Structure 1
Amino acid sequence: MTITATVSLEVPALEGIARADDLELIEVMRAWAQARREVDAGLAMLAGVVAARSTLELGYDGLAQRAGARTADALVSQLTGTSGTEARAITAVGTMMSDPAPWLGEVATHVTTGSLSIGAAAAIQTGLGAPSPTVAADDLADAAHSLLESAASLPPEKVARQARELRDELDEAGIIDREAALRDKRFLRLTRQPDGMTRLVGLLDPESAALVTDAVDAVTSPRRGGPRFVDPEVAARADAVIRDERTTEQLAVDALVEMVRIAACADSGRVFGTRKPAVRVHVTASDLARGAGAGRIEGQTEAVSIATVERLACADGFLAIEFDVAGSALRLGRSRRTFSDAQRTALAAIWGGCAVGGCDRPPSWTEAHHIEEWQRNHGATDVSNGILLCRHHHLLVHNNGWRIRRLGGDYRFEPPPGDGLHREAHPLIPKNAVYRRGRAGTN
């Protein structure tokens, strides 16, 4: 049987696109992106059929094995020229589309119509998981619906993070099991290479990653667009890092080796400068008091159990930040222009990194910005007047005319007047799920 089908995709022609203005270029790219989502939806449906014909029960009689591939994912990868990770996502979503679970029916529809990418659909599917004794299918369907409202404008990794946060809110009893599952995946492997080098391969659970990442960031952040420094001594050290002839990756590995060398000895300042690596844990007062709920390690996306929060709060070298529904507000008025370390800690607990929605810079890579500017608008150096922005978005405010506007409890990132590249302002929503949980008064 031969199946012949004609698929028509309406996309703008690309002749002369190099001479198009900026706005036209962006609109053309949006049109082609829509066409790609429609093509990917077709590939996913095909991959679902391939998977159905390549099940483990079929063994060597399965389609993938007969075609010379070990798995359906591998066959899809061969046929589409995609990476293993992308092929797995296409196959998983295709399998879901062929017989969607009740809570994923709306997700499957959005993929079919091309309004949702394969990556975002796979993120929702994996992040929400399946119903359990404590989470009903209707709850997951509602969560999927809420995710679809923003998924079209976010990259898959951001959608995955939101999906996991929603699952944690619905299933706080399962957090400790999910945390343990991630911890069980951790490993480090050192393999001697023929040329005498040694390859390091490993995975860090969120708790371990928080400490290691913070330590390496303290060394490499001047090279990688980290915050600018006012203190002359710290600024001089940052300049020295920028001028260093080693690559950023070489700086990172040399710092890691030095950490191992000094081990438990006090750091003299030559590795980390003025700031020691730390792990900060965020938890609402109500969750801590009742011994249930979820905590968050600053800079990490996965929830941790209250048992982990309590352990880290008692361990040397860790700082636990506890804040209530109202949040912490350290006030300095206009007695000083720059935010203090204590205020930055409070801002990190609120915003969880750069406040701009699509930005993934953690708190350690951000700068504190006065919403009502200190000099021009006489804004106070208070937490209530502060917001965290990475260097890129901070410079957009000061150099490109962008503005942070606060309307009651809502914040918006507004483009300069007459900017045709941006259709509307972007809402700024605190990324720290624990802070949002506290503000909502979740019990």
Structure 2
Amino acid sequence: MTFLAEFATRAQAVSGHDALDVEPDALLAAVRNLSDDDVVALFQDSAAVIGCAERLQVVAAAVITERSAAPHGGLAGKRGHRSPVTMIQDITGGSRADATRTVRVGSSLLDDVAAVEPRDLGAPGGPVPVVAPPPPWHAGLRAAMLDGTLTTAQHDAIRRGLGEPCDGDGAAAVWAIAAEQLMDEVHGMPVEELAKRARAVRDALDPAGAEERFARRFAARSWRMWTDADGVHHARIDFDDEMYAWVDSMISAALRPRRGGPRFVTDAERAEAEALTHDPRTNDQLTYDLMMDLLRAGALASAEDVFGVRQPGVRLIAVKDAVGPRDAFGRLLSVAHVEDGGAAMPGSVLDRTLCDTASVVVTVDSCGNPLDVGRERRLFTAKQRLALAARDGGCMAPRCDRPASYCEAHHIDHWGEDQGRTDIDRGILLCRFHHMQLHNAGWKITRDGQGPFILHPPGGGAPIVLRSKSPVKWAWDPPPDRSGWRAA
């Protein structure tokens, strides 16, 4: 199907909604009268049209960028614009960020230059054909975006997240494989999570580069305070990766009841959670008061005084066998990942952490599952929850971004009626919302042996394969038939 034919088909689907044949000011009322199914179908059809239009915009932006290479003699300059970005922003009326992304995605299309016509270079044999350069490693991403398999936002998340291949023979091929694997995971994954996953893959493939990127962000750390013309005092912090993870852990520990933390707590903890839930302060105000309490108390306050039961901390997950040798500066050539969120930490941070704190070794099988502990316990143990966090990476429900510390361990075989065992391979992490939805709305999760967890919607809907969100899942789930790709 040609692009115009696809665009016409998508537009025809929208025009097929007869309820939209109204004056513009009556549009909202017309859509309000639609059934739930019709509203969802209308939104899906309109999203498909927008997807086609975005692809067309990206391609046009690529040509505008290409023709604007000369600052004053190029296309943008001739029309009075400083750059393609300002020209596109002026045309669309959108934000500079949106225009920048459009130009960025369009520019990535220009890396794959088509072969030019043969030219007569004065050689005895006549015209000499000029051979086109080999396709770039992200050619598959480009093709998927142009045929509509990927949205422009998904393309941008993977392309930016993976960055450029590191130096070394075969590195471009490895990056292409990584891009292919990420393209297989886009369905049901928010773009933000996709970008995070792409960065995690990049750091796993290039631990030396991860150390350099960490060092650049560490060097950019800063704290700036100022007072504006109205006398309001402001502060801005640019974090390094490690301290951001610590501060995020502090805030999460304090606000967990409001953010949907686990329900399985003691009576005292439940009372404290209810008090925080009904506190009239906003989350931003609570966060401010928390940080001020920390600064004022300093080393004088105990952790329990400030945080209660859920004390903050940052757990790092690393694949033991993947901890490599040291570089010329004595730094570990390895990458660890923060348990909540999966942010990468370089080998130097892992090395220092191992000196300061204890470590827990989680031994897994080829599917990422530790040995079971049988049916002696009703609830999963603390060590089992560590293993679930390493394997699942957070709530396994599609499109959910709740981290592991906010999740509850669900028995896919009910403890009572199914005589379910408290085994890792029969347990899965779910946030409070999705755990309650599972029990109260007729959803069910099954698993055949060591296969994937399958979510079954109520009423016989199409089953959904649940994918791990762990940043280290590549340790037990490499791309098939591509052994050795991680070592390249």
Deviation by residue 1:142-164 (Cα, 9 ceiling, x = unmatched): 32223223335433222222322
With over 3 angstroms needed to count, the CA separation of the structure-2 counterparts of 1:269 and 1:67, relative to structure 1, is farther
Identity of aligned residues (%): 32
Alpha-carbon distance in 2 for matches of 1:360, 1:96: 29
Q: 1:322 aligns with which of 358, 361, 371?
A: 361
Query: What is aligned with 1:94?
Result: 106
Residue matched to 2:121? none
CA distance in 1, matches of 2:86, 2:353: 42
The residue aligned with 1:302 is 343
- SS of the equivalent of 2:51 reads helix
Task: Report the counterpart of residue 140 of structure 1 in structure 2.
Answer: 175
1:179-221 deviations in Å (ceiling 9; x for gaps): 3233334333222233333223333233222211111011112
What is the aligned partner in structure 2 of residue 249 from structure 1? 284
- Report the counterpart of residue 43 of structure 1 in structure 2: 57
Distance across 2 between alignment mates of 1:185 and 1:407: 49
Partner of 1:375, secondary structure, is coil
CA spacing shift, 1:349–1:149, aligned 2, 3 Å:
closer
- With structure 1 as the length reference, what TM-score do the two structures score? 0.87
Deviations 1:246-277 (A, max 9, x none): 01111111111111122223426342111221
**Partners of 1:319 and 1:41 in 2: CA distance:** 50
Structure exhibiting the larger radius of gyration computed from Cα positions: 2
SS of corresponding position for 1:50: helix
In terms of mean alpha carbon deviation, does 234-243 or 372-381 score higher? 372-381
Amino acid at match of 1:109: A
Q: 2:388 aligns with which of 324, 329, 347?
A: 347
Deviates more, 1:187-196 or 1:363-372: 187-196
Match of 1:433 in 2: 471
Structure 2-normalised TM-score? 0.80
Given the alignment of the two structures, is residue 115 of structure 1 paired with residue 117 of structure 2, yes or no? no
Contact 1:411/1:429, CA 8 A, preserved across alignment: yes
Query: After alignment, is 268-277 or 234-243 more displaced?
Result: 268-277
Matched residue SS, 1:222: helix
Distance between the aligned counterparts of 2:303 and 2:31, measured in 1?
56
Aligned to 1:104: 138
Residue ranges of structure 2 left out of the alignment (5+ in a row): 20-29, 113-134, 326-331
Moved more, 34-43 or 131-140: 131-140
Does the Cα contact within 8 Å between 1:143 and 1:166 map onto a contact in 2?
yes
* 2:40 is aligned with 1:26: yes
Deviates most, 122-131 or 192-201:
192-201
Aligned pairs, number: 432
Deviation at 1:392, TM superposition (A): 1.5
For residue 88 of structure 2, what is the aligned residue in structure 1? Answer: 76
Matched letter for residue 426 of structure 1:
I
Distance across 1 between alignment mates of 2:140 and 2:197: 17
| Cα deviation digits, residues 39-68 of structure 1 (max 9, x gap) | 00111122222322444xx33455445555
Q: 1:186 to 1:128 in 2, by over 3 A?
A: same
Aligned CA-pair RMSD? 2.8
Instruction: Tell me which of 125, 145, 161 is aligned to 2:196.
Output: 161
Task: Choose the corresponding residue for 2:229, options 173, 191, 194.
Answer: 194
Please tell me whether the aligned partners of residues 226 and 233 of structure 2 are also in contact (alpha carbons under 8 angstroms): yes
Given that 2:412 and 2:446 are in contact with CA atoms closer than 8 Å, whether structure 1 keeps it comes out as yes
